[in-house]
Structure 1
Amino acid sequence: MLQNIEFANPEFFWLLLLLPVALLWFILTRKKQTASLKLSSTNAFKTKSIWSKLRPILWALRLLALASIITALARPQTEDISTRTKTTKGIDIVMAIDVSSSMLARDLTPNRLSALKEVAAAFIKKRPNDRIGLVAYAGESYTKTPITSDKSIVLSALKDIRYGQLEDGTAIGMGLATSVNRLKESKAISKVIILLTDGVNNSGFIEPQTAADLAVEYEIKTYTIGLGTNGNALTPVSYKRDGSFQYGMRPVELDEELLQNIAEVTGGKYFRATDNEELEEIYNEINKLEKTEIEEFKYYKYEEKFRPLVLLAGALLLIEWLLRATIFKSFI
């Protein structure tokens, strides 16, 4: 209970130094406070009353009252703090994910798509105040999840993304255009697309430059990520008889110039990830670049606790006065 009490004016505690001074003064002047009578013999005045010995209790009551008043002047109080946060700048983000067969390449562990899903999930968890949507694309594109503030839905949809849900190919323009379509009606102050691919645009009926122009028109910033090692990567090249992939070393084909151009014209930034660590660092950097502004309001409620001390001091002084006027009247 006492550990939650604070004092608004603790400087008044210096007045407590008066208490030992007052006590010393009482001790030095105690004999002078009682009238004395000199007699040759005190045999006739042998009384056994203890009240005369208890007279210092009056000073004790006065000192306690003074200590209570000083503590009351220091204004003991309890403080209750309530906090409310307000998002002053919300961000809507669409993550466009390439799910073509080349995303199964094993130059990232265990493969590009699995590595991306793990890093993207961590990124989503770091954006509790933003709305996020998912777009998947390969030879065509579709909206996996519209922008939503429910991160559990987004994370579940991300986990469900896999190769084979779309016709194979890499339709970068389609993926970007679908993402723009998800964000164009957004009322958020900041709208962002994170587009990841590991190839070149070879499918779809919308050119990437056209989709980039749409992003500019709707003021949507686009961060582009080129995924894949430099040189060759162990990539699916054909199917085995049992339907599984036959892997082989193939050169990594990535249209970096296109990705750089999309990022530049939309006000974003281009990144290149050649391994799991770089991919994670890229999403961490984007997380830092796109900060949601949070305004925090703190409300302070103070409850004054000096009143009981004032009442205690008054009660002590009243008791002292009553004792002086009654029991100790004959000894003062």
Structure 2
Amino acid sequence: MSPSRTGDGDAAMMTFVANVDFVQAWVLCLLALPLLVYFMAAPHRERRAALRIPFFELAVQGSRCAPRSGAVVPRAGWLTLTVHGLAWGLLVLAASRPELVEPPVLKVTPSRDLLLAVDLSPSMQEQDFVDTRGVRVDRLTALRSVLEAFIARRSADRIGLLVFAEHPYVLAPFTLDHGALKSLMDEMQIGMAGGQTMIGDAIGLSIRVFDESRVPHRTLILLTDGNDNGSRVPALKAAQIAAERGIRIHAVAIGESNQPGQRGADFDGLKAMAGMTGGQAYQAENRQALEAIYQEIDGIETVDYSALSVRPRRPLHAWPLGMALGLLLLWHLSASTLALIAAAEHHRREAGLD
């Protein structure tokens, strides 16, 4: 073994020992108990009935047994003392409840929930945006790349995804699994929620989603390229309810607001709705502006979380306990085997003498 590997092994062992904690450390004082008993306690004595006979010598000669002292103190050998001492030490070690204190684990508790509401009405298929390669793409394709970068910067926040058009749907509840969120975002299809734009209904469903949230900061980022068209609850009324529930709304209007033959997003209505909740309203006519908007929202809605460091503890008492039981079992099995062999040898010799 090379010196470097030896040094690494010694360092790992020292680290392991340093991280072992004894919950009942006072039990280790019992390690010295067998020594105290051995040196301080009187030998065990037993009284037995005896038969006195006047012809003792003749009885000894007839039985062919040598006379012995009546008080005998058996002495254990060094192997017996070693095995039982080691077993006692392992049992005391197990009783002291050793635990391995593992490295700290950082538990992050988000303090902000973000809900992304995306308009999937047919107008989102308008190819008036340009991607990073200069290729014209539809609005949803441009939005996906911007949202992916936004989500990547919010690693400590729970983020949910809601899509809407004629009907709102929760595509992803609040989650810290941003990889799964991005996968669901890739599955968004224009027109999957209907053909009209119901902003008020989308805000209403968002409020119900936030009812399950218990964090202090709750933010809805709503993106649309159209006007509210027949929601059961008007958008401004829904925004007022959101403000009462402590939900901040940032509204993003996407696309040009004055295209010929089309109705653009109602930016004034979105601005009033966002201002009512303490949020901001933005207008994005190209991909660069859309990126800048989400970066600005990222700066306004700062990442807020609480971190708790926890050091897991792994019990180790089963190891010394199992070693002690195994050692005693092996010792007694060996002693029983040797005793049986000795008894068989004794009988064989007696049979030979007869």
Normalising to structure 2: TM-score of the pair? Answer: 0.54
In structure 1, what is the Cα distance between the partners aligned to 2:120 and 2:146? 15
Alignment of 1:162 onto 2:205: no
Alpha-carbon shift at residue 167 of structure 1 (Å): 1.7
2:123 is aligned to 102
Question: Displacement, 1:83?
Answer: 7.7
For 2:198, give the aligned amino acid.
Answer: A
Query: Which runs of structure 2 are paired with 1:172-321 in the superposition (5 Å)?
Result: 172-232=199-259, 250-293=261-304
- CA displacement 1:18-57 (0-9 Å, x = unmatched): xxxxxxxxxxxxxxxxxxxxxxxxxxxxxxxxxxxxxxxx
Name which of 117, 126, 136 aligns with 2:163: 136
Distance 1:86 1:269, change over 3 A: farther
Aligned partners of 2:211 and 2:185: how far apart in 1? 22
Q: Return the alpha-carbon distance in structure 2 between the equivalents of residues 280 and 154 of structure 1.
A: 19
Contact kept? 2:108, 2:308, Cα under 8 Å = no
Q: Distance in 2 between matches of 1:297 and 1:167?
A: 44
Deviation at 1:172, TM superposition (A): 0.5
More strand, by proportion? 1
Whose relative contact order is higher, 1 or 2, with alpha carbons under 8 Å and at least 6 apart? 1
Distance 2:266 2:211 in 1: 26
**Residue type at the aligned position of 2:277:** T
User: Offset at 1:184?
Assistant: 2.0
| Structure 1 gap ranges (5+) | 2-81, 233-248, 299-332
**Corresponding residue for residue 118 of structure 1:** 145
Amino acid at match of 1:293: D
% identical equivalent positions: 31
> How far did residue 180 of structure 1 move?
1.5
CA separation of 1:215/1:250 partners in 2, compared to 1, >3 Å: closer, same or farther? same
Amino acid at match of 1:184: D
Paired residue secondary structure (1:262): helix
Contact 1:88 1:293 in 2 (8 A): no
Residue 124 of structure 2 aligns with an amino acid whose one-letter code is: M
Give the aligned CA root-mean-square deviation in angstroms: 2.3
Partners of 1:140 and 1:203 within 8 A in 2: no
Aligned to 2:80: none
CA apart distance, 1:135 = 0.7
Distance verdict in 2 for CA 1:88–1:152, change over 3 Å: closer
Number of corresponding residues? 204
Secondary structure of residue in 2 paired with 1:253:
coil
What is the alpha-carbon distance in structure 2 between the residues aligned to residue 209 and residue 294 of structure 1?
31
1:199 counterpart SS class: coil
Cα distance in 2 between the residues matched to 1:120 and 1:270:
17
